[in-house]
């Protein structure tokens, strides 16, 4: 009589998986039912265009088609769905003294109830980049650390009060690194402030991203502390944040300076936010050393707030990895990388991974596993992968018939889901969920409607949705790792 061993890689039966989206990228209906303007509405209509002529005025028209989109979630077998709330639909002018828009509340109530009626768990992101334009005009938005955190706290309160009886999974902010760097250093995203981008007329790339970073950290902390103090015991939910960040390997594995550069890059990318929000600690030492007084300090009372903002999980947005090569020269005043070069090939010319349909993303599942384990061991929070996905090579030029046969994306999902299972089973990392980016092709921010990350094909002329193979196969990928093991 013998026995069969369980497969080395597995996921728990209650593992949450599904798809993710963001309000401005899919909703459209920007002028309907009392919604106020966001900084992305303004940015997408700048002339000359900074978004390849694209805007979110209609987007995927999810505002009117959400039932059709949720039917897709059911078809795909998704257990959960992550979406973001548009702050300016809830409070059109954004501020703590401004009126609440009941029509916006009603829309998100319909979304939440529709998901629950299908047995799909809602995951709500409070902020996915679309700051109310009025707050930017009124006091500089995230550049005003004191005002912005108080307004965000009030917005969070409204959401907890109105949706928290049914929403049990909250994400405060999506990718504050992108908000800070692309919005206020490179100027490639809204509000487009930069002193190094010739298209930008305002901004200071040497100082503003670090101010914005602090505003976002304290806004997150206020929202979590509020939930912990007033809502957790009644609503029994959980709350976290979604941080992006690549994993970095040294360009020359034998060079200690490159090994240090790789770690320093991840500290500048992830530690900037994870140290304060996960550990209630100061920014990484390497950031203090390079940035000096340009990196705002936390006061004693702010550290107290960070300690009160104990969150439940780390949301990880992961797409790719890179190599880091040290620089011998002193860093530029506008440097935000940590004084190094980011490269996709190492010293031997070996690529970090298979190229995708966008220049910055290569498929790197083995390094994803390393990334998961590094983050779990360093920050000690259970991990939900809140975004992971890719565009296929050449997909932006494909017909629907060609695009639905998305073999690159199928392979990417298979390999990255296996990495999650291995990180759990063999590395001991506590990973509880996975959200594929994205449910459907949508407005890819400043890249417009060219790059397609969706597991569903969107025809932008007719707005017809067509499932791609990857969406239909995801359920089976997860079942492979979650099915009970049999012993003989």
| Residue 39 pLDDT class (50, 70, 90 cuts) | very high
| The pLDDT of residue 487 is above 50 | no
CB count in 10 Å sphere of residue 126: 23
| Residue 484 pLDDT class (50, 70, 90 cuts) | low
| The pLDDT of residue 349 is above 80 | yes
Q: Residue 389: CB partners within 8 Å, gap ≥ 6?
A: 319, 409, 412, 413, 436, 437, 438, 453, 455
Per-residue pLDDT, 3: 43
What share of the chain in percent tops pLDDT 70?
97
| The pLDDT of residue 4 is above 70 | no
Helix or strand holding residue 18 (H, E)? strand 16-20
Cβ burial, residue 47 (10 Å; 0-12/13-18/19+): exposed
| The pLDDT of residue 435 is above 90 | yes
> Residue written as tokens 């340009």?
294
| The pLDDT of residue 193 is above 80 | yes
Query: φ, ψ for residue 235 (rounded to 5)?
Result: -95, -20
Would residue 487 count as lying in a domain? no
List Cα–Cα distances, 345 to 184, 240, 248, 266, 363, in angstroms: 29, 34, 12, 18, 13
pLDDT (tens digit per residue) in 50-59: 999 999 999 9
| The pLDDT of residue 387 is above 60 | yes
Mean pLDDT for all residues in the chain: 97
Task: Write the DSSP symbol of residue 100.
Answer: P
Query: φ, ψ for residue 178 (rounded to 5)?
Result: -65, -45
Would residue 85 count as lying in a domain? yes
| The pLDDT of residue 153 is above 50 | yes
| The pLDDT of residue 6 is above 80 | no
pLDDT (tens digit per residue) in 291-313: 999 999 999 999 999 999 999 99
* CA neighbours closer than 13 Å in the CB half-sphere of residue 72: 27
| Residue 483 pLDDT class (50, 70, 90 cuts) | confident
Instruction: Specify the pairing of strand 354-355 against strand 465-467.
Output: unpaired
| The pLDDT of residue 479 is above 70 | yes
Per-residue pLDDT, 9: 87
Would residue 1 count as lying in a domain? no
Would residue 11 count as lying in a domain? no
Radius of gyration of the chain from its Cα atoms, rounded to whole angstroms: 22
Q: Read out DSSP for 140-194?
A: -GGG-HHHHHHHHHHHHHHHHHHHTTT--EEEEEE-HHHHHHHHHTS--STT---
Query: Number of helices and strands (H, E) in the chain?
Result: 18, 15
Per-residue pLDDT, 488: 42
Q: Which residues pair with 127 in a beta bridge?
A: 173
| The pLDDT of residue 141 is above 70 | yes
Would residue 393 count as lying in a domain? yes
**What is the CATH classification number for the domain harbouring 210?**
3.20.20.80
Catalytically annotated residues: 175, 387
Q: Looking at residues 16-43, what average pLDDT do you find?
A: 98
Q: Looking at residues 198-216, what average pLDDT do you find?
A: 98
| Residue 206 pLDDT class (50, 70, 90 cuts) | very high
Would residue 77 count as lying in a domain? yes
d(CA 414, CA 420): 10
d(CA 457, CA 402): 10
For the chain, the domain total comes to 1
d(CA 344, CA 359): 10
Cβ burial, residue 355 (10 Å; 0-12/13-18/19+): middle
Domain that holds residue 69: 16-482
Would residue 6 count as lying in a domain? no
> Residue written as tokens 């975004």?
387
List Cα–Cα distances, 135 to 88, 104, 181, 191, 452, in angstroms: 10, 18, 19, 12, 31
Q: Residue 242: CB partners within 8 Å, gap ≥ 6?
A: 125, 171, 173, 174, 175, 315, 316, 317, 386, 387
The total number of residues written for the chain in this structure:
488
What share of the chain in percent tops pLDDT 90?
97
List Cα–Cα distances, 97 to 91, 135, 147, 156, 164, in angstroms: 10, 12, 12, 14, 22
Would residue 336 count as lying in a domain? yes
Per-residue pLDDT, 1: 42
């Amino acid at each position: 009589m013998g026995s069969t061993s369980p497969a080395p890689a597995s996921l728990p039966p209650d593992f949450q998986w599904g798809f993710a989206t963001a309000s401005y990228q899919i909703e459209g209906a920007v002028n309907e039912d009392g919604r106020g303007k966001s900084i992305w509405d303004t940015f997408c209509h700048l002339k000359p265009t900074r978004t390849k002529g694209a805007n979110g005025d209609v987007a995927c028209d999810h505002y009117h088609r959400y039932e059709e989109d949720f039917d897709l979630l059911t078809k795909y077998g998704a257990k959960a769905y992550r979406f973001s709330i548009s702050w300016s639909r809830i409070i059109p002018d954004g501020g703590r003294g401004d009126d609440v828009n009941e029509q916006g509340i009603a829309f998100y109530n319909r979304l939440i109830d529709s998901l629950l009626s299908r047995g799909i768990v809602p995951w709500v992101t409070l902020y996915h980049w679309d700051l109310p334009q009025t707050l930017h005009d009124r006091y500089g938005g995230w550049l005003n650390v004191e005002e912005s955190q108080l307004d965000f706290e009030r917005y969070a309160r409204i959401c907890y009060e109105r949706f928290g009886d049914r929403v049990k999974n909250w994400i405060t902010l999506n990718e504050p690194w992108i908000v800070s760097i692309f919005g206020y250093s490179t100027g490639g995203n809204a509000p487009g402030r930069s002193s190094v981008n010739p298209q930008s007329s305002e901004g200071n790339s040497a100082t503003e991203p670090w101010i914005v970073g602090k505003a976002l950290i304290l806004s997150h902390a206020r929202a979590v502390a509020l939930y912990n103090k007033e809502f957790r015991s009644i609503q029994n939910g959980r709350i976290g944040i979604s941080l992006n960040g690549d994993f970095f390997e040294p360009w020359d594995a034998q060079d200690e300076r490159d090994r240090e550069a790789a770690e320093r890059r991840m500290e500048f990318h992830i530690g900037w936010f994870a140290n304060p929000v996960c550990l209630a600690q100061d920014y990484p030492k390497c950031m203090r050393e390079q940035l000096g007084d340009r990196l705002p300090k936390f006061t004693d009372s702010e550290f107290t707030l960070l300690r009160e903002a104990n969150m439940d999980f780390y949301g990880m947005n992961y797409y790719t990895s890179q190599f880091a090569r040290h620089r011998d020269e002193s860093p530029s005043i506008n440097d935000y990388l940590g004084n190094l070069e980011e490269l996709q090939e190492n010293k031997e010319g070996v690529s970090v991974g298979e190229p995708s349909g966008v220049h910055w993303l290569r498929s790197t599942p083995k390094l994803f596993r390393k990334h998961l384990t590094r983050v779990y061991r360093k920050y000690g929070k259970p991990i939900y992968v809140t975004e992971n996905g890719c565009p296929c090579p050449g997909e932006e030029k494909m017909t629907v018939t060609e695009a639905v046969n998305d073999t690159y994306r199928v392979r990417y999902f298979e390999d990255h889901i296996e990495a999650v299972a291995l990180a759990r089973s063999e590395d001991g990392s506590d990973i509880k969920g996975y959200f594929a980016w994205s449910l459907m092709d949508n407005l890819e921010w400043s890249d417009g409607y060219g790059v397609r990350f969706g597991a569903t094909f969107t025809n932008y002329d007719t707005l017809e949705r067509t499932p791609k193979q990857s969406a239909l196969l995801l359920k089976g990928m997860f079942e492979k790792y979650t099915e009970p093991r049999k012993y003989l």
